[in-house]
Chain A
Amino acid sequence: MNAFGRCVRTLLVAAVLCEVGVLAGFLANHRRTQDCEIGAGDTAPALQGYGLDFTRGIYRPPAGCTVIRMVSSACGYCHREGPFWRRITPDLGSAHCTLVLVFPNLQDAPFFTRAASPTPQIVWVPLSWARSLRMFVTPTTLLSYRGRVVWVKQGEMDSAAQSSLLSHLHRLEDAP
């Protein structure tokens, strides 16, 4: 092999090492984002709390699966996702699922209350619940019929996340 060939071979080895390094970096970063206290497979704490309208009393989701959506006026995509959630309402109904909105900021509740009135909304939560679900890690969480976390999506519900949620909804195995 001549000098040029050796040079190319060295370059190839370096390129492969770079690829391995980038891949390892992605895996490490993925692990950093997964450090939430609750993840897929865990059992969620009982979802209960009060809405802004105190006269409704304590909210407990009916039997069935639950999609918890944490929303805040500070997140732009929360506003954009409205049409998607309206569109999948029939799917949620046929899977006996309830969509529940949780407001981490008190001042956000009236805004979203006007935007989506039929959806149960929780404003006041117990400490145990807030301890388990982190807003920036689990903005959208699908709980199975037994309260097991089956699916978690951080950040925006893009088209991939939307189809992933729908496919998980249709594949829920522990239906009553």
Chain B
Amino acid sequence: MKLRPTDEPRPTLDVLAEGALAGALLLLAFVGFRSLRRNWLRTDRIREIQASWDSFGRTKAPLFETLGGIPAGGGAPEFLGPRYDASRYVLFVLRASSLSSDIDLWQRVAENLKAKPGIRLIGYCDGPACSHDIAASRPELPFTVIGYTSYHTARVLASAEAAHQALVLDKTLADRGNVTWHDSTPASQLTVAIGKLL
């Protein structure tokens, strides 16, 4: 005998409870998913901002607010900004672990670039140990060595150092390009690479 619709077995209490639980869980999952999506996008945004902060890629906008700071050997602060009279800046990081060889290399590069006017080389200590060594030995250097600089400048230079890069900037402090250098890079090769970006 065929059952009429009204004769179909009615859902038991268990099934109804399961249905209610499933509905509640789905609603919770929906709210959670929306919140997750918002948090995920926020994290993406933070990472993007971070990356742009640390970036030393080629830009038309000024990369730095200032190049200045407190010289490693102590003394008066250096305010090296876009209005400084140099037309090109070459920035590099001096590492405490290989300070003498780094200084020697960049002294030779500075010597090679002396013929080109308006170029300012600026070295940055990678930490207080380097600043301390420079303050103790007070070498006669053809370039400025900065021990403490603004957080943003320090952050970008730390990224550049991690990638073994020296930065070449124009007079507005926009990046003209980067030069890769290592302990074994000859000064002549480094000079040629920098010269191409001037």
Contact = CB atoms under 8 A, between A and B. Distances in A.
Given A22-B33, A32-B43, A5 B126 contact: no
Contacts of A8: 11, 15, 18-19, 22
A25, A48, A54: which has the most chain B beta carbons within 10 Å? A25
B36, B47, B77, B151: which has the most chain A beta carbons within 10 Å? B151
Interface string A17-57: 01101110110010011000000000001101110001000
A113 to B, nearest CB: 15
A107 B65 contact: yes
A46 B128 contact: yes
Contact of B29 (A18, A104, A130): A18
Interface string A82-123: 000000000000000000001111110000000000000001
A123 B40 contact: no
B131 interface: yes
Interface residues of A, number: 48
Nearest to B65: A106
Contacts of B148: 49-50, 124-126
A66 B117 CA distance: 47
B154 interface: yes
Given A19-B28, A128-B126, A104 B152 contact: yes
Interface string B5-38: 0000101100100110111011011001100100
| Contact-residue bracket for chain B | 35 or more
Nearest to A107: B65
B124 interface: yes
Contacts of A124: 69-70, 77, 148-150
Given A12-B19, A126-B128, A135-B53, 5 more contacts: A29-B36, A107-B65, A125-B149, A125-B150, A137-B46
29 contacts: A5-B12, A11-B23, A14-B26, A15-B26, A16-B25, A18-B26, A18-B29, A19-B25, A19-B29, A29-B39, A29-B43, A45-B127, A46-B128, A48-B128, A104-B155, A105-B65, A106-B150, A123-B150, A125-B148, A125-B149, A125-B154, A126-B128, A126-B131, A127-B124, A127-B126, A127-B158, A128-B126, A131-B155, A135-B151
Minimum-distance CB pairs A-B, first 3? A128-B127, A130-B154, A15-B25
Interface of B: 9, 11-12, 15, 18-19, 21-23, 25-26, 28-29, 32-33, 36, 39-40, 43, 46-47, 49-50, 53, 65-66, 69-70, 76-77, 93, 124-128, 131, 147-152, 154-155, 157-158, 161
